[in-house]
Amino acid sequence: MFNEAVTALKKGDKARARDLLTRLIKRVPTQPDIWLWMSAAVETRRERVYCLKEALRLDPTNRTARHGLILAGELPPDPTLAIPPELQRRNWESQLAALQVQPERELLGLSWKQIALYAAAAVVVIALVTVGILGLRQRSTQRVFIPSSVPTYGPTPTSLPSLTPVFRSPTVPAVGPTPLWMLLEATYTPTPLYVNTPHARSEAYSIALRAYANGQWAEMEEYLKQSLRDEPNAADLLYYMGETYRQRKDTKTALRYYEQAIAKDPNFAPAYLGRAYAYLASQPRRVREAERDLKTAVEADPNYAEAYLQLAVLNLGANDPEQALRNLEAVGQLQPDSPLLYFYRARAHLTLGDVAEARAAAEQANTLDKTMLESYRLLAEVCSADQDPECTLQAVNTYLLYEPRDAQALAWQGGAYAALDDSEAALDAFSRALEIDRSQAEIFIQRGELYRILGDYDKAIVDLTQAIGLNQRSYAAQSTLGKVFFAQGDYQQVYNRFAAADLYAATDLQKAEVLFYRAQAQEKLNRVLPAMQDYQKLLAMPAEVYPEEWAELARERLTALHTPTRTAAVTTPTHTRQPTLTPRPTQTRQPTLTHTPTP
């Protein structure tokens, strides 16, 4: 299979090469040579850099991978990789040398013929990587939808190799920063092309599509105008004209062309999809109209998987994971091997609190597309929610190699290190996260809790007070600060904080925790009757809700308080818990849904 992939790549059949290399990566993900060849087969710079970094990570001595990363600007120049002048031959010099008869020699056990074969293979890889990197420096990743201008086209798309599109999620309310999980770069996953319609000026049309694939919008517009002069009623040409303006952020003009395409052919599904993207790029965003157009697109073409997928993304943005799953079910029937299907399915299940289903889907998305960086972030989030620190670290460390300034990802990393008792690494991760974003109360809570566990109470108080300033309704911030004061013996502050925490306690464990600490604080403050009432309420709760030692202390203290001569209150050591692995970040703005087709 590897030889087939190499042959396909040499012939210029990148789609075939990607398909074969993807299968090989699934089977043998630790083979650097496969990643190296994959770097020559993928279509975007980001994918190429990812593959080269994987090859270099697996084989730090791989000169070809290092050379490719230097060309991509990811590594500084390395003088050791420069070709000596005596080896830099021009074509005529190489041809002349080839005519000279050389005696057969052996070098390190290999014949010159064998050495030449290996050298030729290395040159091919280097050439492919170099050409790919240089060729992509001015290229943006798009998906080419080639719709038909014939009103009665069939609903089933022609299955031809293409790239998974860039899907950018819509915005429903605009609050906070755009979450990175909604920003997906193109991957090497094959997806169906729409329909290729022949046009009278086929050469101009073909050049326009090539310009579209390369993100050359002005050139594309020029050749589309030539085609439109001969076919002014072609809906797909008008649609593509809309795309050229939308990609240049001229939403108003783009909408005009999409509407002309719809007027020429009311059943032309891509025009509705394009107009939906334009609505979502408008200011203010027109979410309802976008949703209406997406529904019209799937009515016009029930096999339009991308429209269903974007409906699911809209549903997630509107916090409707159930409807998102229903739309993703349709995607699953049309594109069952799409990693984006599993990616958004995992997001929906995580929103519903079904961590097991979310993890299975996130793992499948990551398995189907190892170059989709956001799948590592999502997997880290899911593993964090599943309280699996090893899984969290494996995923988040990969993600942070390429996105080191993601505060939330650093918080997951810190929580995982804390759960594994690596306090130094955890504090470093939390601190780096807060250098990037000091608006997330949960990160202050996590670091404050770790300081509490380590006995650094002054720093814990600073962090937890900051967290309460950001989110006064946080049970975790109020209760953790109360436990810090408990360790310091400031029982009035313990009472105050747990009284505040009581207002936001949502689970039985949280309610039990309030009673446990508040009862002890009140006993220390000589409020005997309220203390006894809190102990009794604690014991009235189901025993499985809270730790047994809490019940034992409550019974002991009630017995002591009932005796005529009350014995001194016995306080237990502070009940320590590991920092929460799954912080709930502040509400984030949903990003704009942007359709960018790929070739």
Determine the Cα angle at 87 with ends 86 and 88, to 5°: 95
Give the model's pLDDT for residue 8: 80
Burial of 140 (0-12, 13-18, 19+ CB in 10 A): middle
Strands 110-111 vs 106-107: parallel, antiparallel or unpaired? antiparallel
Give the model's pLDDT for residue 445: 97
CATH pick for 166-402 out of 3.40.640.10, 3.30.460.10, 1.25.40.10, 3.40.1280.10: 1.25.40.10
Determine the Cα angle at 416 with ends 413 and 417, to 5°: 85
Do 297 and 307 meet the contact criterion of CB atoms below 8 Å apart? yes
pLDDT digits (tens, 9 = 90+) for 99-141: 444 443 443 444 444 444 445 555 555 555 554 554 444 433 3
Say which CATH topology domain 2-81+107-136 has: 1.25.40
pLDDT digits (tens, 9 = 90+) for 440-477: 999 999 999 999 999 999 999 999 999 999 999 999 99
Kindly indicate the confidence band of residue 47, based on its pLDDT and cuts at 50, 70 and 90: confident
Rounded to an integer, what distance in angstroms lies between the CA atom of residue 333 and that of residue 3? 33
Q: What are the CB-based long-range contacts (under 8 Å, 24+) for 459-464?
A: 460/484
Mean pLDDT across the chain: 79
Give the model's pLDDT for residue 363: 96
Kindly indicate the confidence band of residue 210, based on its pLDDT and cuts at 50, 70 and 90: confident
pLDDT digits (tens, 9 = 90+) for 502-561: 999 999 999 999 999 999 999 999 999 999 999 999 999 999 999 999 999 999 999 999
CB count, 10 Å around CB of 77? 9
Give the model's pLDDT for residue 336: 93
> How large is the average pLDDT for residues 354-369?
95
> How large is the average pLDDT for residues 16-39?
84
Give the model's pLDDT for residue 81: 52
Has residue 335 got a pLDDT over 70? yes
Structure-model confidence comparison of residues 276 and 21, the more confident one: 276
% helix / strand / coil in the chain, to the nearest 5? 65, 5, 35
Question: Lowest-pLDDT range, 47-51, 227-231, 242-246, 346-350?
Answer: 47-51
Give the model's pLDDT for residue 27: 78
> What would the two tokens of residue 241 be?
């004209």
Do 481 and 461 meet the contact criterion of CB atoms below 8 Å apart? yes
Rounded to an integer, what distance in angstroms lies between the CA atom of residue 465 and that of residue 470? 9
Residue 549 forms beta bridges with which residues?
A: none
User: Considering the domain 441-562, what is its CATH architecture?
Assistant: Alpha Horseshoe (1.25)
Rounded to an integer, what distance in angstroms lies between the CA atom of residue 448 and that of residue 464? 6
Give the model's pLDDT for residue 474: 97
Give the model's pLDDT for residue 177: 33
Report which residue type is found at 310: Q
Q: Strands (DSSP E) along 448-599, which ranges?
A: 594-596
Give the model's pLDDT for residue 166: 35
Has residue 332 got a pLDDT over 60? yes
Kindly indicate the confidence band of residue 178, based on its pLDDT and cuts at 50, 70 and 90: very low
Helix or strand run (H / E) with residue 111: strand 110-111
Kindly indicate the confidence band of residue 32, based on its pLDDT and cuts at 50, 70 and 90: confident
Number of C-alpha atoms within 13 angstroms, CB side, residue 555? 8
Structure-model confidence comparison of residues 172 and 422, the more confident one: 422
Helix or strand run (H / E) with residue 166: strand 166-168
Rounded to an integer, what distance in angstroms lies between the CA atom of residue 91 and that of residue 97? 10
Report which residue type is found at 417: Y
Coil, strand or helix: which one is 167? strand
**CA distance readout (Å), 351 to 357, 362, 373:** 11, 13, 20
Residue with tokens 């990969």: 398
Kindly indicate the confidence band of residue 63, based on its pLDDT and cuts at 50, 70 and 90: confident
Give the model's pLDDT for residue 184: 39
Residues of the chain with CATH 1.25.40.10: 2-81+107-136, 166-402, 441-562
Rounded to an integer, what distance in angstroms lies between the CA atom of residue 218 and that of residue 245? 9
Has residue 38 got a pLDDT over 70? yes
Do 312 and 344 meet the contact criterion of CB atoms below 8 Å apart? yes
Q: What are the CB-based long-range contacts (under 8 Å, 24+) for 260-266?
A: 261/235, 261/236, 262/235, 264/233, 264/234, 264/235, 264/238, 265/149, 265/151, 265/235
> What would the two tokens of residue 52 be?
């080269």
Give the model's pLDDT for residue 129: 55
Task: Quote the percentage of the chain above a pLDDT of 90.
Answer: 56
Rounded to an integer, what distance in angstroms lies between the CA atom of residue 251 and that of residue 327? 27
> How large is the average pLDDT for residues 284-313?
95
Burial of 200 (0-12, 13-18, 19+ CB in 10 A): exposed
Structure-model confidence comparison of residues 131 and 247, the more confident one: 247
The verdict on pTM exceeding 0.75 is: no
Rounded to an integer, what distance in angstroms lies between the CA atom of residue 12 and that of residue 135? 14
